[in-house]
Structure 1
């Protein structure tokens, strides 16, 4: 599609972002909402295939159900001139495959942070009964702020060299393909967990576990070969972290994590010192595969009958001399067969009986063990898992699962709730609100924004947080409030007309405004304001300057009044970076301090017809060399004066100010 083409009368195509087996992706600009978006357009050679169109439309329907900061949002679905297209959130950054290539080796904590975001997104999809089927680094985008976002829900590209297909089933890229998908079975949620394990493997090693010349050879390795050890690649990787890879990529789905949430919980503590001595994970089915198969009763009886028939046949056809010679051998064979039969029957009669696995979920550990023992089952290892639904110290699930047919004396693994999954609050002060909120929301935390004016902190930056750093919270029940800078405070200017000079100075100080005074003869009471600029009701920001004209009282009627000359004097005030008036403020309610910029506090004193040195004419703060204009009203033949004070010290002064001296 050519640049500048307007799709759907709304989306102006800018450039191509990439081409895939099923669709091409373009960068476009939304002319209505004035924002960049990405447009996925079904390839022209596939637009007449109803099955392909249905899969393409399924992606839009699937993604619109999913709302998560780690899932690429779908804004619009449409068709134009037979062309199917999706309009999605534009993620400025790179895919995870390129990120691994550019940043490997990646610190373990960063690996866990990336995987936690991906797991959060997949968990939301699974809660909506949506299976991705094609999880791979190429479908995970990393934006400029380090936020991971999954794309391509409901669609699997199945036309490249590294993909496999079967009738009516789309299988993901072969390097991340689960064993059951490679065998042709339908994908399940645990198939996604397997792919997530392969992605974690690649984040830790920089490569995929299985390679081959053809897609088929790689697929065979997925269900025949064991996953290579990541600790052999890097011995510094903790065993607990390798165990996450091993359990997620178990050949049998029942040996994998019960859910994406369980995998995320295990991954969260993989670097904890408490798990330093954890043994290597071994799947339960690894032992079962090596068990000896024993013939059943019918098979034993069939073997005996066949042996007897063969013996009679041999007796009829053998010569008498040969029969006598080998009679002892026939007797020995008969004895061995009899012993085999007796042993087989004894095993058959003494074998463990099959019972139905009881459902003990929701029971306390003691109650569950008693119920299992009553069914002649052996309560085995207890594994703690976080749960938002099951009370602490109550059973979440078992392995084998409830209602499964198991032999008596089978060891039953119990998964017991450790209570709600708690997360640790980090320090978000100084970060952008968008980044901080995305991180918290990815962990399931409800975030509330509270704006606050600030002249020192950049707009959109977090100034305070309600939860302290290091605090562990239940994200389902805790709301974290982030106080965000809204820039300098705005205020509505009050009506100052009629106010005295002292009242106006007090108001200006309270509202952080600078004020300059002019004087004029008027019928108003001497010393009260007769006008102001800007006018009352104007919207100002802190630090703005207002000008107020005060009444000198009524103008004398006689001409004997000395002539007063009005003129202005400009003064350059130097900024001193080492001045003790530079300030640093800290907020006791926040988990971190915030320093203000260095400023000088300046007081200006004026001596003329209307002022004397006993009161401050003007006070202001400066952060650099600043020029100020001072108005004077001086009787003809006399002089005025000014003093500039910083930190209680006079830095500039002139006691002989006349109209012609400046």
Structure 2
């Protein structure tokens, strides 16, 4: 492939050719120092200074972020005549190219794609990054040695860099078919729920071969926006006519919800739905075809050789083949002795004070109970005089005791995790006559607990030691080992500042969340 003549625009790289051209141009190149193949994406900037600073900050985060389903950003240069960013080269291609050749993807491959994108969401959303332009063009893939497809997300922040308010006459570089309804009203004020809507559209298209709402030239933008804002998406139908797993249909419905506040945007819940859909799909593949029955067929024995004809036995023959009477009476006696031994053993176990012990299931008088402190099952001899209602009451009391113990342990874990939360104020500039501007607050969660909301109090202190004001900032959805940095409100007075965690609200596991809310430690 001939070398392109504009190598001078990308020092340190040897441009080999063009990969793609849409809103930006993507080039295939080789890093001269290492020999690594890379992809260079260059574009012309037409945006305001605030958006440019935000993109630079997110790009800096992306260069430090490492995840197996994220295309690594090696370098970002926005201060040149031809701004560009350099990423790892992915040899497979884009999901768009895959759909253009295969029309749609199998259910199991689509589930694999969804699980990997949810893992990406878990990481970037805790860092305060919203992709804003999730679509097949921005999902790349490579084929593993096992034959499975490995998907990677790319183009972080590029959509936000290009984004402009949507008008009928203006043009926005966001992709309409994958944009959440709230992106049409105020594209700058969106949260992670917009990424989950786009994921729902991508999964819908992978399964059916089409998007829920298509942008057609003859209908116009206004008509398309009205459909997205008010019309329910058509039920997803596989081209093969087979039924989709029920959990997948329910998940798509929750991801494509119009109201962003009601839309599913929890990676754990979405992952559970995809795993359930995977189980349902495997079960469907193993079921017999409708109208057929699978009957058990015993093994066919080989035909024995025909026996010779039996002649009438003489008296001599009868004497030679007669079974002795003593041998014939041994078996009943043996059975009787065995039955007596088993009965005695059962009586001993039944009336023994240590009757409650692990035994094999299936014996008479044995009831199975679950040990809440372990994954194993134990089987106890039950009193035959206890009624069924009393047994249920006992089981319910044991379940409640186990639940209370689990809740107590989780409360203790949350209490320890809350003490580990660390809020740090940095970067503030004090004016000549006082006042703090440009202050940032970083919240670090080194624990293994997920907090759905953390309140951090920022204090501005005047030169005489008095507190001028103490605003409260809220950090939402910070996962284990996560860090979130936010801009603090400016202060007209004060020369010193500090930040501390005021309170935290943990996100309990599903097994505890349905019972009662956990108190703040």
Whose relative contact order is higher, 1 or 2, with alpha carbons under 8 Å and at least 6 apart? 2
Structure ranking higher in strand proportion = 1
Structure ranking higher in helix proportion = 2
